Structure 1
């Protein structure tokens, strides 16, 4: 019986966000609950050993105390588990911890200290993760998503597990070819819905199909952390050293050559210009991305700048406008106390991320209360004229139509739907009659030079647009 452990800590952390992620932000699963997370573990003659998996909505950097608690429990459970043949390492790849600069490498090296060098480890990652030399060296198999938005997230995890079981049965440790590409772009410029990412990522399937190749992957990297590992990367694994080395170089070169062609996935502009275009358009519903405080990229979720601007636009208040959302536990509680149909005076947002704007005074009518949202805790709708503002107890992304319907809101019949998001997730994308991406301030500002990176390796595109071509020779002998 082959014994395979399962462990991981998964979060995307913006070092530019003042939010701090603690244990309370993570959903931690162990035992049977962890096994139930995966529907594809039905391999004969495999004993799955659930250790610990922790996943959190993206946010600010993780506190050291939180990381220590989670990682030490993984190490302790590994020591108790007994000998393993393999480990499925289910991570995101863009976790930042206060005081550390390459925490996923720290985590796998800590795991290696317990399980030793011979246990086969297979990692599944988000394509917005970072792959340093230390991380690549400590893993045996590594793969990542091939689509953004990430409609293939669970396919990727299944591929990582399938490759692990296959190599444990008949292949042993594969060879690897790794290379970083000095390009750092936000996900909103690298969506595989459009060119050039669509064609660049199509090459991954071509490479994977070649004889001598087991898997191929391209990481965009994570743009809102300021660490040396933050840049694009390529890893190709297989059994033919010449082939995987050549193909890793091919993929890296394709990404580098396309660097100037990457553009935002939607037309962009200031919030004011996006609102003006939306109101002038007959398209309904018209979606606008409030991109600078996107909670699924690491934004604090309480940046109040956009809310302040919307309240100062009379034309917005005269149309049916949904704004999703802003987190403020105190304002949410005040609305619940007041009750549906009652007026409430609150100061909303700007308590965590006060840089762009402090708390915004809001005189509104409480239109809806949902006290049992599994993510938001309590969510309320505060109405000012036609503007319906969703305020939540906890950070929550609004990606599904059901998120709005639970509060009695109908995004399909609204004039404007303004969402803290980057590229629209699939349901919203299909719903939108038209869409603009507003370049708003916050911890995941799309204007990367405006954020002030200091820890990344330079030169780096687009920070150094005229930099010379880099050496993209893969490391493939370790």
Structure 2
């Protein structure tokens, strides 16, 4: 809860908006270019978020540049330099026109750039060099992001999602902006900036083991709102961290922000202890097993339909390349699916630009032989050659560009020009597929997103290989700080879960150089 006050400055504060967001696996050979961020610029940035309109009577929002990329491989250094330079150039133009009072830093928190260990902090350092130290910065993040000491110091306000799956993404972004507006408009001019308590927790777990749908994460995250409601506290947050990148900053973190140092300290320590104490209780959000075990369960007599299986190792929304053919290769090798009369299986998806072009040229109903996949990530399986009937063609998708469905036996395999996640029912029905009537739906995903979760009559998580392998210990982390659970099960001494206090800047609110 923020304390109220009377400000001597009655003009509306100017809030700039900037940021780059991507979740990046360092265990996939995929690389991410600038175009993958689909940048919005200027007025496009403000128009992107409907919740800004009701706040327009309290603040003047100015968009610089924001870019949100589909999770994937390491960002090319030249692409980062290009985008960060445009951000600072645009902020310079805004600053030349007016005084910038606040900045909403719209990020994910798990971006990895070639040659950089803490890309978001590097970007914010460059932004600070342009806008100056007086600007109040509020960051919104994914709970699978990473909060390094540098990022915690450079941000005045910082928050993250409280649900996994992230059904509160927009709510979190709005909270970050509202907190910023409140600080700029209700705190007396000359007030101290918020105090932050930051605590690293030596735990690094995949999101599929820390879903708030189940315990213990449900109860651990349930305490966040309780801490936030404490007098003198503005915001509270727990970051699980990002498990599929190998950098020193990757780990769980708690941060509590507010005006009362004792309150923020106590809140951060409560959340950190709760997360640490629950470390052995975190388990997969669904029954898990090998791919063969999952298929056996799905095909067992009496199994519920539709039965969903997560091909989790190549999940493009966790940072996987999405390019692997391992799962589809396993499916097509099984006798049950060789005939068109076999169990109906939907598989999403494998990229293959040449295969897609051949299917488009042949047309719906044609029989074609095409090769797709493993153009980038061939570690576990090579390109897959298939002969089947073209079932559907769709163009114009934001991520995939062009999608086709190839029926091979009883398997309906979705092939894409570019990789795409499949999270919604319309992703299938737009391709003349009915997931509700299928026997088996295999999706490259981890925990099921809400629409898929609601559709699934039953579900298993397949522990498949790939750049976002759920078996973290076989990936080969060697740069994370140790000891780290679950890589280390015993610690020479208990971790230090005392709060590191980051005082508010000695440059008070409402004072402009």
State the TM-score, normalizing by the size of structure 2: 0.92
**Aligned partner of residue 75 in structure 2, secondary structure:** coil
Structure-to-structure mapping, 1:47-58, within 5 angstroms: 47-58=60-71
Match of 1:176 among 196, 217, 222: 196
Matches of 1:73 and 1:31, distance apart in 2: 11
Q: Distance in 2 between matches of 1:217 and 1:129?
A: 12
How far apart, in 2, do the equivalents of 1:18 and 1:151 lie?
Answer: 30
Q: Give the equivalent residue in structure 1 for 2:249.
A: 229
Residue 388 (structure 1) aligns with: 412
2:118 to 82, 96, 102: 102
Q: Map Cα deviations across residues 158-207 of structure 1 (whole Å, 9 max, x no partner).
A: 00000001001123521100011010000000000000000000000100
What's 2:326 paired with? Answer: 305
Q: SS where residue 51 of structure 2 aligns? A: coil
Aligned residue among 469, 474, 478 for 2:499:
474
Deviates more, 1:124-133 or 1:314-323: 314-323
Q: Which residue of 1 aligns with 2:44?
A: 33
Contact 2:58 2:185 in 1 (8 A): no
Separation (CA, whole Å) in 2 of partners of 1:302 and 1:47: 43
User: Which segments of structure 1 move beyond 3 Å, counting only runs of 4 or more?
Assistant: none
1:1-150 matched pairs, under 5 angstroms? 1-41=12-52, 42-43=54-55, 44-82=57-95, 83-150=99-166
d(CA) in 2 for partners of 1:404, 1:349: 20
CA–CA distance in structure 1, aligned partners of residues 307 and 357 of structure 2: 31
Residue 348 of structure 1: how far off its partner (Å): 1.7
Q: Does 1:187 align with 2:207?
A: yes
Report SS of the residue matched to 2:501: coil
1:217 paired residue among 232, 237, 241 = 237
Instruction: Output the TM-score relative to the length of structure 1.
Output: 0.99
Partners in 1 of 2:467 and 2:353 — Cα distance? Answer: 20
| Aligned residue among 464, 469, 482 for 1:458 | 482
Residue aligning to 1:296: 317
Kept in 1: contact 2:92–2:130 (CA 8 A): yes
Aligned pair count?
Answer: 478
CA contact (8 A) 2:43 2:62 kept: no
Query: 1:255-297: CA deviations, max 9, x gaps?
Result: 0000010000001111011001110043000000000000000
Residue aligning to 2:378: 354
Shift of 1:466: 1.4
Measured in 2, the distance between the counterparts of 1:269 and 1:316 equals 21
Higher Rg of the two aligned structures: 2
2: distance between equivalents of 1:30 and 1:306? 39
Q: State which drifts further: 250-259 or 460-469.
A: 460-469
Provide the secondary structure at the position in 2 that maps to 1:40. helix
Structure 1 stretches lacking a partner, 5+ long: none
Q: Following the alignment from structure 1 to structure 2, what is the Cα–Cα distance between the partners of residues 116 and 316?
A: 62
Taking the aligned partners of 2:239 and 2:482, their CA distance within structure 1 comes to 18
Whole-angstrom CA distance in 2 between matches of 1:451 and 1:80 = 44
CA distance 1:48–1:477, shift in 2 (3 Å):
closer
Higher deviation after alignment, 151-160 or 465-474: 465-474
Per the alignment, residue 406 of structure 1 pairs with: 430
Q: Supply the distance in 2 between the matched residues of 1:405 and 1:208 (Cα, whole angstroms).
A: 42
Where does 1:232-247 land on structure 2 (aligned, <5 Å)? Answer: 232-247=252-267
CA deviation vs aligned residue, 1:72-118 (integer Å, no higher than 9, x gap) = 11111111111200000100000000111100110111111111111
Structure 1 distance, partners of 2:368, 2:58, is: 61
Query: Over residues 117-174 of structure 1, what are the superposed CA-to-partner deviations in whole Å (9 max), with x where a residue is unaligned?
Result: 1110000000000000000000000000000000000000000000001001123521
Q: Tell whether the 8 Å contact from 2:297 to 2:303 is kept in structure 1 after alignment.
A: no
Alignment root-mean-square deviation, CA? 0.9
The answer to which of 44-53 and 179-188 deviates more is: 44-53
Would you say 1:261 and 2:281 are equivalent positions?
yes
How much has 1:385 moved relative to structure 2?
1.1
d(CA) in 1 for partners of 2:151, 2:475: 26
Q: How far does residue 45 in structure 1 lie from its aligned partner after superposition?
A: 4.0
Partner Cα distance (1:188, 1:175) in 2: 32
- The answer to whether the 8 Å contact 2:371/2:385 transfers is yes
Unaligned runs of 5+ in 2: 1-11, 504-513
Partner Cα distance (1:428, 1:140) in 2: 37
Structure 1 residue 373 displacement after superposition: 2.0
Give, in whole Å, the separation in 1 of the partners of 2:453 and 2:228.
30
Q: Work out the CA distance in 2 between the residues paired with 1:189 and 1:130.
A: 17
> In the alignment, is residue 427 of structure 1 matched against residue 447 of structure 2?
no
Secondary structure of the structure 2 residue equivalent to 1:417: strand
CA distance in 1, matches of 2:20, 2:221: 26
